[in-house]
Homo-oligomer: A and B are copies of this chain.
Amino acid sequence: MFRVGIVGASGYTGGELLRILSTHPDVEVTIATSREFSGKPISYVHVNLRKHYTNLKFSNVSLEEILSKSDIVFMNTPPGVSHKLTPKLLENGLKVIDLSPDFRLKNLEEFKLWYGFEHESPDLVSKAVYGLPELHREEIRNADLVACPGCNATSTILALIPLVEEDIIDTLKIVVDVKVGSSEAGRKPNLGSHHPERANVMRPYNVEGHRHVVEVEQELSLISRKNVKVVFVPHAVGAIRGSLATCYSFPIEDSIDDNMLRKIYAKRYGKEPFIRIMGEGLYKYPDPSNVLGSNYADVKAVVQERSKSIVSMCAIDNLMKGSAGQAVQCMNIVLGFDEKRGLDFPPLKPI
């Protein structure tokens, strides 16, 4: 049994990590930190977890305790925290799965620009592996520090990988329209997430620029032979969970058709344990409501003949494949487990 620490365990992602790991056969959560709820039982906050973790209480962050109790640590902290604490964990031989943005970007300038802090561990930035197994599985296997992607970056990149790898679209004219559920903004109440303000919205936000686009362009540029430019606008819609990326692109050659896209996606994703390509059935296109509670990402790409464009879509649960689930998937790879260990359950539906 590996011993797992969770730094930042009282929010939604922390709760989701605890939920998943409660049934993982090979690890045990030994420490879960929360400044606000230190000393309280886990189920005090995560009421759904009553009858689970009956012997665990939230504790304050203490480096000594983390070092003595954990083999691997999930950093589930606000931007600007992990880049200070993580180096100490690594120095002491622990592995770190970072769910914060602190090691996602390779260009140090961008941390200041988008997250407002000066990075204090530039050397680790280059060592950290971007935690999208579908792109970096082998590097993750040997990594000490995995920087898990943002939820909207995950859905966007997964929708676009085959198109960019196959070099069939104009990479300077990619439009990504994202829809997200309210849990993305976390547990802390604010006006925009207040129920009467949020329940029935179709609300664009960060229209002038959203920070997840930096990761998207970084990763797509890596796999492309060309510069990549993405127009990206997220929208809050009436759901608690889910991130849907609808990606619009223009094919370089007119001859592309649905059949070719089907083959390209099948070839690229056919063996991926958590990617499902939508096909025949009552619903034909990706929709997060088909993956909620699970680590699956549903994808599909089609040609819109009239407008000579390609529409590629990816639907995930933002708290699962978009954060906690993907983090556990990365942990499995780092620790040498089967990638599906503890994650091999289907989505809940209807919900």
Q: Is A248 an interface residue (CB 8 A)?
A: yes
The reply to whether B194 and A194 contact each other, CB–CB distance below 8 Å, is: yes
Residues on the B chain within 8 Å of A335, using CB: none
The reply to whether A201 and B281 contact each other, CB–CB distance below 8 Å, is: no
Q: Is A223 an interface residue (CB 8 A)?
A: no
The reply to whether A348 and B229 contact each other, CB–CB distance below 8 Å, is: no
The reply to whether B177 and A187 contact each other, CB–CB distance below 8 Å, is: no
Given known pairs A49-B346, A194-B193, the reply for A204 and B287 (CB within 8 Å) is yes
Q: Is A267 an interface residue (CB 8 A)?
A: no
Residues on the B chain within 8 Å of A188, using CB: 194
How far in angstroms is the closest Cβ of chain B from A183? Answer: 5
Question: Which of B195, B294, B311 makes the CB contact (< 8 A) with A182?
Answer: B195
Task: With CB as the reference atom, state the residue of chain B lying closest to A205.
Answer: B285
For this complex, 25 residue pairs linking A to B, each with C-beta atoms less than 8 Å apart, are: A23-B346, A47-B282, A47-B283, A48-B347, A51-B276, A52-B346, A173-B250, A177-B246, A183-B350, A189-B191, A195-B198, A195-B199, A201-B287, A202-B287, A202-B288, A203-B285, A203-B287, A204-B244, A204-B287, A213-B306, A231-B311, A237-B238, A238-B239, A293-B293, A348-B348
Residues on the B chain within 8 Å of A183, using CB: 196, 350
Assembled-state Cα–Cα distance A51/B346 (Å) = 9
Q: Is A147 an interface residue (CB 8 A)?
A: no
Assembled-state Cα–Cα distance A93/B130 (Å) = 56
Residues on the B chain within 8 Å of A1, using CB: none
Q: Is A344 an interface residue (CB 8 A)?
A: yes
The reply to whether B200 and A189 contact each other, CB–CB distance below 8 Å, is: no
Residues on the B chain within 8 Å of A197, using CB: 289, 350
**Nearest 7 pairs of A and B residues by beta carbon:** A238-B238, A196-B350, A177-B177, A189-B189, A48-B349, A48-B347, A202-B244
The reply to whether B182 and A179 contact each other, CB–CB distance below 8 Å, is: no
Question: Which of B292, B296, B304 makes the CB contact (< 8 A) with A231?
Answer: B304
Assembled-state Cα–Cα distance A262/B238 (Å) = 29
Q: Type the 1/0 row for A92-126, where 1 means its CB is closer than 8 Å to any CB of B.
A: 00000000000000000000000000000000000
Residues on the B chain within 8 Å of A244, using CB: 202, 204, 235
Residues on the B chain within 8 Å of A309, using CB: 175, 231
Assembled-state Cα–Cα distance A200/B241 (Å) = 8
The reply to whether B241 and A351 contact each other, CB–CB distance below 8 Å, is: yes
The reply to whether A349 and B15 contact each other, CB–CB distance below 8 Å, is: yes
Residues on the B chain within 8 Å of A179, using CB: 179, 202, 235, 237
Query: A residues 183-234 with Cβ under 8 Å of B?
Result: 183, 187-191, 193-205, 207-209, 213, 229-233
Q: Type the 1/0 row for A258-275, where 1 means its CB is closer than 8 Å to any CB of B.
A: 000000000000000000
Assembled-state Cα–Cα distance A213/B304 (Å) = 12
How far in angstroms is the closest Cβ of chain B from A119? Answer: 20
